[in-house]
Structure 1
Amino acid sequence: MIDVLVVGGGNAALCAALMAREAGARVLLLEAAPRRWRGGNSQHTRNLRCMHEAPQDVLVDAYTEEEFWQDLLKVTGGMTDERLARRVIRDSSRCRDWMRRHGVRFQPSLSGTLQLARTNAFFTGGGKALINAYYRSAEALGVQIRYDSPVTGIELQGDRFVAVHLAAREVDGVRRPAERIEARSCVLAAGGFESNRDWLREAWGQNENGDWAADNFLIRGARFNTGTLLRALIDSGADAVGDPTQAHMVAIDARAPLYDGGICTRIDCVSLGVVVNCDGRRFYDEGEDFWPKRYAIWGRLVAQQPGQVGYSIIDRKAVGRFMPPVFPGTAASTLGELARQLSLPEAAFVETIEAYNQACRVGTFDHTALDDCRTEGLSPAKTHWARPIDTPPFYGYPLRPGVTFTYLGLRTDETAAVHFSGKPSPNLFVAGEMMAGNVLGKGYTAGVGMSIGTAFGRIAGSQAAAAAGHHPASMTAGQDHAIA
């Protein structure tokens, strides 16, 4: 019999599989996607947010536990479990040597990401390279890996895991029969429900016109994250945590593909200009905080606008100060021409930009600091990086909500166990996006999803191995294999 069954194929699942295998467990990993699409949302990532008390290789200066915690507290508005959040933060300071042993390489921050040089460690080759390294290591260690294997159901005896079920399916022209797979313990790391349009509709409801709000969402992440197991566990009595409408939701280019657009579809010039809705009106402070701490609120903000669209507007002064998106912006020599090209109401749009320009109080512009360039007497205000949009050519980027992953998940504790009526399961564990809502009640800050997945993937793998009768050689606090 399999000792540890891991359901999922991204960062958290691979960390769990590697830790369980290192402990001596016989491990089977089931990835719903075909091999070429393996890795879930992790393939689209770039970095890991890391606590460190002093400069460390690719990380400059220091990023203390308390500063990390305060950053997380700010973006979540206090909607976070401090015990679990601090566990993630502390584990982020000691995971990178383990990651290197499994083939992950890091590089210094590049141009356009220098503001993260103190807080985030970037993967050489990005998330795809990290995923490939983990799969190579898992295969070398003897982890069994099966692709095209979406789990459709889970079998429990009370709070104890027994088996998973796979429906009959066709893979590469070959009919595979339905299966039941037993294991001594199980780690669930199969992502959120962002690719389940029906569930998104259920969560977001209908607008005043009777249209389903979620129908205009693009799925920035993996198309295979349908939430099947999340729904099955909640229906079976597992304790849930989080709001189904809360998500890592980014304002992305409206021309992006429906699935798997990844980071290149993000529009990063928001804080350098203004954002208007389809009525040509601003609706939020574009300079509220540093972009890595605020980029993931803009998808939700756009989703709340008429037609669920927005437009990021900049002028020539902003060019070269942000990571260019994959699609070029619409360019015009006048504001009126830009409005016409974007099909915005010209008079309202020009009035909005002119009112903004008149309200700007420009001091010393510095996009790397919370500078003193602000608006005065304008609502909503722009509190930093406010400069008049007055230097042609002018550019506009159409925006739509892009969902990376949802926050509704399974409640857990420091052991990563799934809870039923407040009590932890003895052999069922959860990691990654399926439990991220314990830490992320709302909001996001760059790289913290990978921090959560890495920390709880490793915890869940160790705990699952122990539940199956295998224990790491060293359980000394502070070492790589330590668990709470």
Structure 2
Amino acid sequence: MTPEHVIADHPLTYDVVVVGGGNAALCAAIAARRAGASVIVLEAASKFYRGGNTRHTRNMRCAHDAATATLSGPYPEEEFWDDLLRVTEGETNEQLARMMIRESKDMLDWIAEQGVRFQPSLGGTLSLGRTNSFFLGGGRAMLNALYLTAERLGVDVIYEAEVVALDIDTDRFRAAIVQQPDGRLRVRGNALVAAAGGFESNIDKLVEGWGEIARNFLIRGTPNNRGTVLDLLLAGGVDSIGDPTQCHAVAIDARAPKYDGGIITRLDCIVFGIVVNTNCERFYDEGEDVWPKRYAIWGRLVAAQPDQIAYIIFDAKSANLFMPSLYPAIEAASIGELAGKLGLDAERLSATVTKFNTSVRDGDFNPDILDNCRTENLTPPKSHWARRIETGPYYAYPVRPGITFTYLGVRVDHEARMMMKTGGPAQNMYAAGEIMAGNVLGRGYAAGIGMTIGSVFGRIAGSGAARHAAQ
């Protein structure tokens, strides 16, 4: 075994070194290789756990002009922009965001050309049949297809290859220092694409922004996204963008594991019930908008509650309207009994449910649109899908903030080149995916947009890195 302090040189210098192993990294690697570059992918995980958060994805959001075999209608660029503007509340780089949306129109065909297959969207509360394309077999199947294509093209992949240092000369990448099980390796390259994710699995780093409440957060995705590469880049003079507390955070089942629970721990039933904290108080409008546009606000909302936990309460009428979590709902014959099982005050919870029921104004319930079932004289209101919780048995899910990925990252330009703190672009350093998502997502989230950012900027970064290497 090579001692840790000894660094062996890789026998080859690559045109493009890609750090990361998920969607963004693979799109970059494939694009660079198709442009004629020699490419190596450095993936910190083992082969089985390769792919970072992409393993847990289901779909991507792309603009398109007409219905397809798997999409029910058009999704124009301007509508995509309006959706992004609404969820980010204007916290986005409009030039980069509009470029991403424009480029996304070609991505579905390009991704399919790399071997990825799509299926019609799922039903329930997702409401994504027109806007989002779903991967046949989910994120792992998508990853497998991309890896197969990359390897057939001649891309080299090293697993269990954690980048622990970067050799950066002013604004130029020279080499990555990689920790492997048997020692350290220097991998030299003419260009770098950083696609190594955010820092959501580094709890201490989350605490720096959020405070001690972050220790109660659950991490939906890979335990490998610790922000090491981001820290190395920022220390090397790359400019940062974003707020360390902004992230893709959803409400997930509180019984989920600390890391890597994935999509099956997410709960899509909030719109069909009410959500209370440990004081049995509602704290936000559960029916504000269609679920794909608002589901990602609930992680932050729950994070602001006592002990960072909340409870979704609903009744038998809604039990089959959504995709369930991995864990069964907690069931009881009465609201009082349900409160006891949750460790809540039965009298308080019963009073909250009664007050909600009294405020409900009947309408034409329709889970697929913004219907007219609402509350009156209730704070906070429930704007849509409000129905009395009165039909037993009664159900609950405990939820905690589930962090998917963080938005603090590296600043890039329209060519996906990293911007230096000195003001100009790096000579040969590019970024794609979660590590630069804050350029587009200053806050908020819309379903499937993380994969869009990774795919679009991955292809741009890989192509740009290959062009630079060729020069």
TM over 0.5: yes
Three-state SS of the structure 2 residue aligned to 1:233 is helix
Structure 1: gaps of 5 or more residues: 171-175, 206-211, 471-484
Q: Which runs of 4+ in 1 moved over 6 A?
A: none
Q: Shift in Å at residue 201 of structure 1?
A: 1.0
Distance in 2 (CA, whole Å) between partners of 1:61 and 1:113 is 18
**Match runs of 1:19-168 below 5 Å:** 19-112=31-124, 115-167=127-179
Deviations 1:212-268 (A, max 9, x none): 111111110111001001012122221111111111111000111111111100011
Three-state SS of the structure 2 residue aligned to 1:190 is coil
Distance in 2 (CA, whole Å) between partners of 1:292 and 1:6 is 31
**Structure 2 counterpart of 1:191, from 197, 213, 216:** 197
Identify if the C-alpha distance between structure 1 residues 114 and 271 changes in structure 2 by more than 3 Å, giving closer, same or farther. Answer: closer
Greater Cα shift, 225-234 or 125-134: 225-234
Distance in 1 (CA, whole Å) between partners of 2:39 and 2:415 is 19
Q: Shift in Å at residue 114 of structure 1?
A: 6.2
Three-state SS of the structure 2 residue aligned to 1:116 is coil
**Match runs of 1:11-410 below 5 Å:** 11-112=23-124, 115-167=127-179, 169-170=180-181, 176-205=182-211, 212-410=212-410
Distance in 2 (CA, whole Å) between partners of 1:91 and 1:362 is 44
CA RMSD of aligned residues (A): 1.0
Q: Shift in Å at residue 95 of structure 1?
A: 1.2
The sequence identity of aligned pairs, in percent, is 56
Three-state SS of the structure 1 residue aligned to 2:80 is helix
Deviations 1:394-451 (A, max 9, x none): 1000001111100101011110001013211110000000000110011101000001
Distance in 1 (CA, whole Å) between partners of 2:108 and 2:244 is 32
Three-state SS of the structure 2 residue aligned to 1:96 is helix
Distance in 2 (CA, whole Å) between partners of 1:48 and 1:76 is 18
Distance in 2 (CA, whole Å) between partners of 1:41 and 1:261 is 11
Greater Cα shift, 51-60 or 186-195: 51-60
**Correspondence for 2:438:** 437
Q: Shift in Å at residue 194 of structure 1?
A: 0.5
**Correspondence for 2:8:** none
Code of the aligned partner of 1:218: L
Greater Cα shift, 91-100 or 60-69: 91-100
Greater Cα shift, 25-34 or 342-351: 342-351
Three-state SS of the structure 1 residue aligned to 2:452 is helix
Three-state SS of the structure 2 residue aligned to 1:405 is strand
**Match runs of 1:407-422 below 5 Å:** 407-421=407-421, 422=423
**Correspondence for 1:479:** none
Instruction: Tell me if structure 1 keeps the 8 A contact 2:104–2:456.
Output: yes
Distance in 1 (CA, whole Å) between partners of 2:296 and 2:50 is 24
Three-state SS of the structure 2 residue aligned to 1:460 is helix
Three-state SS of the structure 1 residue aligned to 2:414 is coil
Q: Shift in Å at residue 182 of structure 1?
A: 1.2
Greater Cα shift, 84-93 or 296-305: 84-93
Distance in 2 (CA, whole Å) between partners of 1:347 and 1:382 is 22
Matched length: 458
Instruction: Tell me if structure 1 keeps the 8 A contact 2:22–2:53.
Output: yes
Deviations 1:368-411 (A, max 9, x none): 11111111111111111111111111100000111110010101
Code of the aligned partner of 1:305: Q
Three-state SS of the structure 2 residue aligned to 1:347 is helix
Q: Shift in Å at residue 111 of structure 1?
A: 3.0
Deviations 1:122-158 (A, max 9, x none): 1000000000000001110000000000101111111
Three-state SS of the structure 2 residue aligned to 1:221 is coil
Q: Shift in Å at residue 186 of structure 1?
A: 0.5
Greater Cα shift, 123-132 or 414-423: 414-423
Distance in 2 (CA, whole Å) between partners of 1:111 and 1:185 is 43
Distance in 1 (CA, whole Å) between partners of 2:461 and 2:124 is 35
Code of the aligned partner of 2:46: P
**Correspondence for 2:460:** 459
Distance in 2 (CA, whole Å) between partners of 1:377 and 1:220 is 37
**Correspondence for 2:15:** 3
Three-state SS of the structure 2 residue aligned to 1:194 is coil
Code of the aligned partner of 2:83: D
Three-state SS of the structure 1 residue aligned to 2:419 is strand
Three-state SS of the structure 1 residue aligned to 2:470 is coil
Distance in 1 (CA, whole Å) between partners of 2:269 and 2:84 is 23
Instruction: Tell me if structure 1 keeps the 8 A contact 2:126–2:292.
Output: no
Code of the aligned partner of 1:179: L
Identify if the C-alpha distance between structure 1 residues 282 and 113 changes in structure 2 by more than 3 Å, giving closer, same or farther. Answer: closer
Code of the aligned partner of 1:437: G
**Correspondence for 1:474:** none
TM-score normalised per structure 1: 0.93
Instruction: Tell me if structure 1 keeps the 8 A contact 2:39–2:155.
Output: yes
Greater Cα shift, 107-116 or 249-258: 107-116
Q: Shift in Å at residue 93 of structure 1?
A: 1.1
Three-state SS of the structure 2 residue aligned to 1:37 is coil
Distance in 2 (CA, whole Å) between partners of 1:243 and 1:145 is 32
Code of the aligned partner of 1:164: A
Three-state SS of the structure 1 residue aligned to 2:72 is coil
Q: Shift in Å at residue 113 of structure 1?
A: 6.1
Distance in 1 (CA, whole Å) between partners of 2:265 and 2:358 is 32
**Correspondence for 2:7:** none
